[in-house]
Amino acid sequence: MVVLDLFSGAGGLSEGFWRNGAKFVGHIEADNYACNTLKTRTAYWNLKKNNKLNIYNQYLLKELSSEELWKAGKVNNSTEIINKPIADDTFNEMVSTVYKNMKEKSIKSVDVIIGGPPCQAYSVIGRARMKEKVKDDPRNYLYTYYVRFLEEFKPKIFVFENVPGLINAGGGEYFRKLQKAIENTNYHMELKELVASDFGVLQNRKRIIIIGWNKDIYSEYKYPDFIADKLHGTKVSELLVDLPKTIPGNKIEGKNKYIENANTYLVWSKIRAKNFDILTQHETRPHNERDKEIYRIAVNKWFSGKERLKYNELAKERPDLITHKNTKSFTNRFNVVKPDEESCHTILAHIAMDGHYYIHPDNTQNRSISVREAARLQSFPDDYYFEGPRTSIFKQIGNAVPPLMAEKICLEIKKIL
């Protein structure tokens, strides 16, 4: 299965296709840190194929530099990861690079194009923050480049991922234009709103998944029937239970750091293999005393009466903790990751800005969730290493497609092919 990945991010969607044996002819991504993450994960898969994961594990243990890992994983001189924004002045160069990659791998055609343009301009929260500026945001029209790649490479199938807000953004104008452009490119498309928790991810993440078929190849179209893979009875606590307790502004990494063996869910979801014992990026952000006091109140409120802390209520009860004059909008800015439920609320890129929406449920730790905990809630495996500073890593995780969801989508695409 030959795949071209557009707007790749940290590779959550790619991971699902890697797991199904895909061969990539390009990952195109504008963010430098995300591209470095893609290089590291590409090195992982290249080393895994050659039974050399001991080299990758050396990297996780800080015994190798990233450059040494990329060299060993045959990523250093590769043009597979293209670190540029997709635009008019880069499009032709990117196309040439992909064709070059195909020639080097003796590949004649692309089977699948995957990806989803950045969604800030389509998301409800993004539109609320940007207000009138959203109309002029160039990200509204990045889908046009996706269509141009379809025209150029003519894959058999494509997968287009985005937020539910895509349908109604701009009064539905962008979606109508996308639909028309795709139909004019000789593809038939269908879409559904899919929920990550139906794929075994312990997160209530909703996404629009558009699947399109080349009309010259497929005369009958049928959107895959994704059979719900909910693990009834599995709680969010099972994602957190084996990780060591920590404090704000701390990092725990290395061998023999897990405090329990991998449980059934962690093994089933491929988050942590039974014999895997290298913990990385269990890193927390620092918090001031005011925020920690608010976190304590939020956690106690949840466990005492299953209630969520509202900012306007906090303003009345503890005015000494209030820093925002506006207590009427964004009253739900504080939220606890609830260990006793079957799915967590959606992990968003905003986690890079502060941890208020992702408070750890253990008041003895009194903090927001760590990088590794956020990655687990997105179903990234513990051997998935994210490159860059903590803020960038949180953003990469928040923007990603959960790999477990991506894997099951890919499995159905593979059946169609």
Whether pLDDT at 193 is above 80: yes
The DSSP bridge pattern shows strands 157-162 and 23-28 to be unpaired
List Cβ neighbours of 368 (8 Å cut-off, separation of 6 or more).
248, 284, 285, 287, 295, 354, 355, 356, 358, 359, 360
Which of 77-101 are b and which e, b meaning 16 or more Cβ less than 10 Å from the residue's Cβ? eeebbbbebbeeebeeebeebbeeb
Whether pLDDT at 135 is above 70: no
Lowest mean pLDDT among 43-57, 304-318, 322-336: 322-336
Residue with more model confidence, 324 or 310? 310
Amino acid letter at 324?
A: H
| Radius of gyration for the alpha carbons in the chain, expressed in angstroms and rounded | 22
Whether pLDDT at 103 is above 60: yes
Q: By the 8 A CB rule, do 158 and 195 touch?
A: no
How far apart are alpha carbons 85 and 105 in whole angstroms?
24
User: For 99, what's the count of Cα atoms within 13 Å in the CB-facing half-sphere?
Assistant: 10
Lowest mean pLDDT among 184-193, 326-335, 354-363, 375-384: 326-335
- What angle is formed at CA 208 by the lines to CA 8 and CA 187, rounded to 5 degrees? 80
Q: By the 8 A CB rule, do 43 and 66 touch?
A: no
| Positions marked catalytic | 119
pLDDT band at 121 (very low <50, low <70, confident <90, very high): low
Lowest mean pLDDT among 73-87, 235-249, 311-325: 311-325
Whether pLDDT at 7 is above 70: yes
Whether pLDDT at 230 is above 70: no
pLDDT band at 138 (very low <50, low <70, confident <90, very high): very low
List Cβ neighbours of 142 (8 Å cut-off, separation of 6 or more).
7, 86, 117, 118
Q: By the 8 A CB rule, do 75 and 43 touch?
A: yes
What's the whole-number average pLDDT of the chain? 92
The DSSP bridge pattern shows strands 187-195 and 206-214 to be antiparallel
For the residues 264-286, what does the mean pLDDT come to?
Answer: 96
Whether pLDDT at 145 is above 70: yes
> What region, left, alpha or beta, does residue 368 occupy, with left being phi > 0 and alpha being psi -120 to 50 degrees?
beta
Whether pLDDT at 114 is above 50: yes
Q: By the 8 A CB rule, do 332 and 308 touch?
A: yes
- The helix (H) or strand (E) run that includes residue 36 is helix 32-49
Q: By the 8 A CB rule, do 174 and 143 touch?
A: yes
Lowest mean pLDDT among 57-71, 73-87, 115-129: 115-129
For the residues 304-328, what does the mean pLDDT come to?
Answer: 88
Lowest mean pLDDT among 35-49, 312-326, 344-358: 312-326
pLDDT band at 125 (very low <50, low <70, confident <90, very high): very low
Whether pLDDT at 204 is above 80: yes
Q: By the 8 A CB rule, do 253 and 241 touch?
A: no
43: closest CA among 19, 71, 77? 71
The residue whose two tokens read 């860059």 is 388
Q: What is the pLDDT of residue 126?
A: 47
Q: Where are the beta strands (DSSP E) in 112-186?
A: 112-115, 157-162
The DSSP bridge pattern shows strands 81-82 and 112-115 to be unpaired
For the residues 290-294, what does the mean pLDDT come to?
Answer: 96
Q: What is the pLDDT of residue 133?
A: 52
Token digits of residue 306: 């299953």
Q: What is the pLDDT of residue 120?
A: 55
Structural domains of the chain ordered from first start? 2-228+402-416 (3.40.50.150), 237-397 (3.90.120)
For the residues 331-356, what does the mean pLDDT come to?
Answer: 92
Lowest mean pLDDT among 112-116, 122-126, 295-299, 362-366: 122-126
Token digits of residue 159: 């997968």
Lowest mean pLDDT among 194-208, 328-342, 343-357: 328-342
- What angle is formed at CA 10 by the lines to CA 265 and CA 87, rounded to 5 degrees? 150
Percent share of the chain, pLDDT over 70: 94
Lowest mean pLDDT among 80-89, 110-119, 233-242, 267-276: 110-119
- What angle is formed at CA 340 by the lines to CA 124 and CA 257, rounded to 5 degrees? 100
Q: What is the pLDDT of residue 127?
A: 39
